[in-house]
Structure 1
Amino acid sequence: MHLSSITHQGFQEAYRGLSLQSHFQPIVSLSHQRVIGYEALVRSSANARSVPPVQLFQLASSLNEELQLDSQVRALHLQNYAAQSSHGQWLFINVNPETATQDLANPHHLWSQLAECGLRPQQVVIEILEKRFRDEGLLHDVVAFYKQLGFLVAIDDFGAGESNFNRIWRIEPDIVKLDRSNILQAESKPQVRRILPRLIALIRETGALTLIEGVETREQAMIAMETEVDLLQGFYLARPEAGFLAQDETLLETIHHLHENSLRSSQEFDNGYVLWRNRFGERMQRAAQHLSHSGNLRNACKPLMAEDRTLRCYLLDRRGVQQGEAILQPSNLTANEQRFTPLLDSSGACWSRRSYFRRAMAVPGRVHFSRPYMSATDGDLCMTLSLGFFSNLGQQAVICLDLLADQLLSASA
């Protein structure tokens, strides 16, 4: 590789009158509280005028020239990374389908680029933009190829365009980078914010680390903290910069503050749950005692239904089968009632698969709270309080109270 110059900002290359530089954006592990990698990004300029990467590659007059330019940029990133004093972090490099195909056909070229810089594959994460691979077979072969050589592989921009879990299951990447659109939607839509932690958990069950990119504000960073994501990247933490890499003390302080704020927020949320458990707990206990003596659900539920957040109260037997109709709160009937008419009558329904039933049966005498979920009765977002007790016939039973989750969560916040 011919390096045109070296400055205080590292090695530079020249292409069609442009100066090419490597900029590096830190990627942090929230649990380790430190930078564990850097994504290499090309920056080009001429006469103090910057040229976006997309326009840079549009200057190539042919596919062959584009491949040569991409190879030149990759070599530049590897050289600048190799010049750093510490190689304790991964180098993330983007690879397009055309370059990946070329690597498949000529792996010696890739090996020679690494050898020239004195690097090992284990130090490099190959970032693959999943949606650019139209050929499923090629995507699978490319991921297997890089992993066999010892590289780590990251799927980029997951959750955008045509991304799907089928590909993740099949190709088994080491890291899945969630597209910025995920965190933006979570910021504006409460339902996405609730679902995002489960999406992260599901990806992790495939055996991949998870990374949320494009985090630009404190609010977005706090949402990311809620998800238990492994890695984080974005302007809120650090912008891409040229030059040699170093652990930024300001960045480390930002990570520490995120943990402190996340712990405080979690404690406040838990305290909110405790307040609501205490508020309803005594009445749930009294309702269970009333049922154990009289068996009259309507009279037992009256104190519970006095709350404006309640949806319904119902009784389950030891098999999880609902005994009779639920006692409804008329003031909370919503437009969903008409749309979900076939589901409204839940008498005789079996709720044994629900976690709130299983927990109440396993630990009777204690009030349990479910996570927010969409009710299969009316389509409302609700949370269920459940309490296991012994009925007047000596059989174990569970009394349940459904609450409007949006109101409950907003009141706990």
Structure 2
Amino acid sequence: MNAITAQYNGYQLHSVFQPILSLCHRRSVGFESLLRSTDVDNHAHAPADVMREAAERGDIRLLDTLCQSLHIRNFSAQAPEERWLFLNLDPSTIADRWYHDGTLTRALREAGVPPQRLVIEIVEGAIDDEPQLFAAVDYFRSIGALVALDDFGTGHSNFDRIWRLAPDIIKLDRSLIVEAEQHRTGRLRQMLPNLVSLIHEAGSLVLAEGIETHEQALLAMDADIDFVQGFYFARPSREINHLEIDGLPILSDITRHFETTTTIEERIEADRIAPYAEAFRDAVERIGRGEAPHAAARQLMTLARAARFYILNERGEQTMHVDGRSLRTRRIFHAGPITDTSGGTWYRRQYFRAAMAEPYRLQTSRPYLSSTGAYMCVTLSIARGNPPTQVLCCDIDW
């Protein structure tokens, strides 16, 4: 393919494209356009250096417009119709509302690229003036383009802005994935799926950029991230060979690895829970035969990670509880103001409602932060009665 190039201030400008891949579809869904530049001696120069020179010369608008047209034309000449073009705009283009001059829509029209195939990338923290940001998003949507907020998760990130803007795609800053990879048992690794879930609830798809390792790809899959890009899959290239990208064995490999790893982890988790589930069922049966709850739960509470045994009525109100020896609240809160759960109500907890919906069936919650001690726990629960009048529960220090 004979790529189109452009000239600016002694530099020759080139387009390169990096694939955006869907983990579910196991193929490319788009390509991000990136700038590459060389001087008269064919020495490469960083795009940031070229942009800095343009800023010093007052040419940012000229260079940004030139790059937009260059990327759109090269994309149009190569890309299949069902793929998006991710196009970065300089923040000053948005701040000064230069996009209103029709240059972008004219470039799309001349290249035969429908606006619906365009994803405008806006750096999430680069525009402090929110009315400007909202006006730009409204404009790009009015012409039919999608909007992606880039670098989410860095210093200026604002969830309130996400709720109000409802961008089509959120691009997570690569530092989030790198940090989660480096701290295998850290909080960020546990929080990443919840962060993605919140973004999904706001109505946005999630893209993780800068994926460079197998472990990072698995983390993205585990967190339910929609799209990925990075050197692990493909480096930026002047040529768009979507058939080669879509046939990457790596996409199938990480899916199989994730399935295997998840199965193993689920088996390990089931093995960890098994002795507690057995002792918990035994306590429930003893109470059903008329034994006092404290006595019935005695063996259960001797297990190393048994944190609490408690009984709730049909309204979720706690009627009794026994603390286990593993309870960590006193090491975290000196006065223990939240360790006394007498009179508490746990109706809002999923483990209570699940038990009430299926009497006499053991329920196992997902790990969550206990509000009785700020430690991660898993709760076992069983409802008794038909209709149920009691829910017996056991918290396991996870």
TM-score (norm 1): 0.89
Aligned to 2:102: 108
Q: 1:104 to 1:339 in 2, by over 3 A?
A: farther
> What residue in structure 2 maps to residue 341 of structure 1?
336
Corresponding residue of 2:69:
75
What's the counterpart of residue 24 of structure 1?
Answer: 17
The worse-fitting range, judged by mean Cα deviation, of 47-56 and 369-378 is 47-56
Q: How far did 1:340 drift? A: 5.9
Task: Give the C-alpha shift of residue 84 in structure 1.
Answer: 0.9
Summarize the Cα distance change of 1:382–1:81 in structure 2 as closer, same or farther, 3 Å threshold. Answer: same
RMSD between superposed Cα atoms in Å: 2.2
Aligned equivalents of 2:278, 2:88: Cα separation in 1 = 58
Residue type at the aligned position of 1:224:
A
Q: Structure 2 counterpart of 1:36, which letter?
A: V
Give how far 1:332 is off: 4.6
CA distance in 1, matches of 2:60, 2:84: 26
Query: 2:306·2:326 contact (CA, 8 Å) conserved in 1?
Result: no
Name which of structure 1's ranges 351-360 and 286-295 shifts more when overlaid on structure 2.
286-295
Q: State yes or no: 1:371 paired with 2:370.
A: no
Q: Judge conservation of contact 1:179–1:213 (CA < 8 Å) in 2.
A: yes
Q: Match for 1:13 among 6, 10, 30?
A: 6
Contact map agreement 1:103 1:109 (CA 8 A) in 2:
no
Q: 1:198 aligns with which of 189, 194, 198?
A: 194
Q: Distance in 1 between matches of 2:116 and 2:373?
A: 52
In structure 2, what is the equivalent of residue 303 of structure 1? 299
Instruction: Determine helix, strand or coil for the equivalent of 2:298.
Output: helix
| Structure 2 residue corresponding to 1:323, chosen from 319, 324, 336 | 319
CA separation of 1:351 and 1:332: change in aligned 2, threshold 3 A = closer
Find the aligned partners of 2:208 and 2:335 in 1 and give their Cα distance.
36
Alignment of 1:80-99 (within 5 A): 80-84=74-78, 86-99=80-93
Aligned CA distance change for structure 1 residues 250 and 108 (closer, same or farther; 3 Å): closer
- 2:377 — aligned with what? 382
Contact 2:306 2:325 in 1 (8 A): no
Match of residue 37, structure 1, among 17, 25, 30: 30
Deviation at 1:51, TM superposition (A): 1.5
What secondary structure, in the 3-state scheme, does the structure 2 residue paired with 1:384 have? strand
Equivalence for 1:410: none
Counterparts in 2 of 1:395 and 1:208: CA distance versus 1, 3 Å: closer
In structure 2, list runs of 5 or more residues that go unmatched. none
Q: CA deviation at 1:295?
A: 4.7
Post-superposition Cα deviations, 1:294-331, rounded to whole Å, max 9, x if no partner, equal: 3522211122123212112122222212123x322235
Q: Does the 8 Å contact 1:336/1:378 carry over to 2?
A: no
- Residue 211, structure 1, aligned to residue 210, structure 2: no
Instruction: Name the residue aligned to 1:361.
Output: 356
Residues 276 and 306 in structure 2, CA contact (< 8 A), matched pair in contact too: no
Distance change >3 Å, CA 376–CA 320, structure 1 → 2: same
Query: Residues 85 and 328 from structure 1, CA distance in 2 versus in 1: closer, same or farther, beyond 3 angstroms?
Result: closer
1:146 aligns with 2:140: yes
What residue number does 1:261 align with?
257
SS of 1:41's partner is strand
Say which SS state the counterpart of residue 31 (structure 2) adopts: strand
In the superposition, relative to structure 1, how do residues 140 and 94 fare at CA in structure 2: closer, same or farther (>3 Å)?
A: same
1:126 aligns with 2:117: no
Distance in 2 between the 1:106 and 1:346 partners?
60
In the aligned structure 2, how far is the partner of 1:358 from the partner of 1:237?
43
Equivalent residues of 1:340, 1:377 under 8 A apart: no
- 1:53 matched to 2:47: yes
Kept after mapping to 2: 8 A contact 1:156/1:178: yes
Q: Secondary structure at the match of 1:289?
A: helix
Q: Is 2:305–2:326's contact at 8 Å kept on the other side of the alignment?
A: no
CA contact (8 A) 1:9 1:242 kept: no
- Identical columns (%): 36
**Closer/same/farther in 2, CA of residues 245 and 71 from structure 1, 3 Å limit:** farther
**Structure 1 runs of 4+ with >6 Å offset:** none
Say which SS state the counterpart of residue 223 (structure 1) adopts.
helix
Measure the CA separation in 2 of the matches of 1:20 and 1:105. Answer: 21
Which residue in the other structure is 1:157 paired with?
151
- Give, in whole Å, the separation in 1 of the partners of 2:115 and 2:95: 18
Q: CA deviation at 1:14?
A: 2.1
Kept after mapping to 2: 8 A contact 1:96/1:132: no
Amino acid at match of 1:380: Y
Deviations 1:44-96 (A, max 9, x none): 12334322111111112547411101111111111111111623311100012
Aligned pair 1:287/2:280, yes or no?
Answer: no
| Amino acid in structure 2 at the alignment position of 1:402 | D
* CA–CA separation in structure 1 for the residues paired with 2:202 and 2:353: 27
Question: 1:376 and 1:276, CA in 2 relative to 1: closer, same or farther beyond 3 A?
Answer: same
Contact 2:121 2:149 (8 Å CA) reproduced:
yes
Q: Contact between 1:212 and 1:224, CA under 8 Å: does it hold in 2? A: yes
1:275 to partner: Cα distance: 3.0
Measured against aligned partners, the alpha-carbon deviations of 1:110-152 in whole angstroms (never above 9, x if no partner) come to 2221222222211211101121111100100000000100111
Which has the higher mean CA deviation after the structures are superposed, 369-378 or 27-36? 369-378
